[in-house]
Chains A and B, each alone.
Chain A
Amino acid sequence: MKKFLIPLGLFFGLVIFLALGLQRDPHEIPSPLINKPAPAFSLPTLDPKAGTFSPAEMQGRVWLLNVWATWCVACRQEHPLLVDFAQRHQVPIVGMSYKEIQPQDVQAQGMDATAKLQFARERSQVWLSRYGNPYVLSVMDLDGRVGIQYGVYGVPETYVIDKQGVIRYKAVGEVTPAILASKVLPLIQKLNAS
């Protein structure tokens, strides 16, 4: 009888490991930027009159950085949630339009940098007026270099940044009501209280 227990135990051990493995999303790579200062940048804003924005301006406030683009389907899915979140909570959400112009955008081919920015602004503005604008402001990261600084590898991504400008949480992929309720909101409350 004992002889059967050993392989049986091994088998269940294997089952447990495999079951745990199946629960994990291989696309979710833990970010090394958690608890590190949010990389500084200075980018033009979506509103041409507002000039540029850099994260230092948010010093002293807990805020969200949401990476999005009009071509990103998952962004459209999560967007109503963000709109709702912005209405209900006093948490500023800064949008970062990531590589709005894609290589396959034939209209934008041959444009110079200014025209490209103009084109991206217009398209993003149209998209925001259609689906609602949860952002206090949006910045335009056209070449994706700031995205690299933030370790962006899929859009949308959402960062929670504290009063000292330290990244405290990062959600890759669309945020869900569950993520907002169980992770983002409690964290924001905790950070705001400190």
Chain B
Amino acid sequence: MGALNTPSHFVGLDAARRSGVAGFGLPTRRALAASLSLAVAGLFQLTAAAQGPKPAPADVSASAAVTTPLPAASAAPAAAVAPAPVSSGQAVAPPTSPLGPEAAPMTDEPVLEARLLKLSEELRCLVCQNESLASSRAELADDLRREVRSLLSEGKTDQQVKSFLVERYGDFVLYRPELKPMTWLLWFGPFVLLLGAVSGLGWYLRQRRKLADTAPAMSDAERARVDQWLKD
């Protein structure tokens, strides 16, 4: 369900559009993109930190570069104004990163954004129907994400947001329909079918075995005839 989305796709929709990384369809590609962005982020921090006033710790982990709100972003402009003190041979590099300026953080509220992302992966886009609200780039999806974002920042719970949408668009917006008498068939139907099929199979097998047990055994004359046929 959620495998279709990358976080960058969601919060940085415009950035994703520009760079053309949106629309990865496969989990493997997603993983590829994620590792690539991790690598890039790590590289960024390493180069930026090397130019900053403090020498970089040698073990800047790539994951920290993603979860922490990029301390390098503040260090880089300072380095551009005043040349960094020479701490190692690397300082001969130009003051700005060869990869261009550091991207601005995509959101001021990463916790809210994460909730929005998680929630909108559970919601269906009504225009594209087989895409989640998180992955869809339809305009209505944009609007609904904005609506969900504002509801969340008002302090609504996930459940309240879901019922807000269900009240307006119906159960269809939920990828996982609620369990209620209307949806019993949907939830339990397959298991009922499976149960039926298994018991049908059991009944058939029992019937067959009974038939085999009760079938009259061959007489000696019949056996001799079969042997004769087999020989011929």
CB of A167, distance to nearest CB on chain B (Å) = 11
By a CB distance below 8 angstroms, the chain B residues around A30 are 170
For the complex, is A144 an interface residue (Cβ under 8 Å from B)?
Answer: yes
A26-B129, A99-B139 known; A148 vs B144 contact (CB < 8 Å): yes
| A27 partner residues in chain B, CB cutoff 8 A | 129
With an 8 Å Cβ cutoff, the count of chain B residues facing the other chain is 15
Measured in the bound complex, the distance between the Cα atoms of B126 and A132 in whole Å is 31
A154 touching B144 by the CB < 8 A rule?
no
B140 and A153 contacting across the interface, CB-CB below 8 Å: yes
User: In the bound complex, what is the Cα–Cα distance between A153 and B140 (angstroms)?
Assistant: 7
Q: Interface SS of chain A: helix, strand, loop or mixed? A: loop
- The answer on a CB contact under 8 Å between B172 and A150 is no
Contacts of B126 in A (CB 8 A): 29, 153-154
A26 to chain B, nearest CB (A): 7
Q: Is the CB of A151 within 8 A of B168?
A: yes
Measured between C-beta atoms, what is the minimum distance from B111 to chain A in Å? Answer: 24
CB-CB < 8 A to B34: which residues of A? none
Complex contact B129–A32 (CB within 8 A):
no
Chain A interface residue bracket vs B: 20 to 34
Does B186 sit at the interface, judged by CB under 8 A?
no
Q: Are A154 and B170 in contact (CB under 8 A)?
A: no
Give the interface SS of chain B, mostly helix, strand, loop or mixed. Answer: helix
Q: Are B147 and A148 in contact (CB under 8 A)?
A: yes
Q: Are A32 and B168 in contact (CB under 8 A)?
A: yes
* CA of A127 to CA of B168, assembled, Å: 30
Q: Is the CB of B168 within 8 A of A103?
A: no
Q: Which residue of B lies closest to A152 (CB)?
A: B140
- Residues from chain A with a CB closer than 8 A to the CB of B127 are 153-154
Instruction: Decide if A149 touches B139 in the complex (CB within 8 Å).
Output: no
Query: Known contacts A26-B129, A27-B129, A29-B126; is A151 also within 8 Å of B169 by CB?
Result: yes
Is the CB of A31 closer than 8 A to any CB of chain B? yes
Q: Is A183 positioned at the interface, with any CB of B under 8 Å from its CB?
A: no
A108 at the interface (CB under 8 A from B): no
Please pick, from A26, A36, A103, A150, the residue contacting B139 in the complex, using a CB distance under 8 A: A103
A-B contacts besides A99-B139, A145-B147, 16 pairs, CB < 8 Å: A27-B129, A29-B126, A29-B169, A30-B170, A32-B167, A32-B168, A32-B171, A33-B167, A102-B139, A103-B139, A143-B143, A147-B143, A148-B168, A151-B169, A153-B127, A154-B126
Q: Which A residues form the contact surface with B (CB < 8 A)?
A: 26-27, 29-33, 36, 99, 102-103, 143-145, 147-151, 153-154
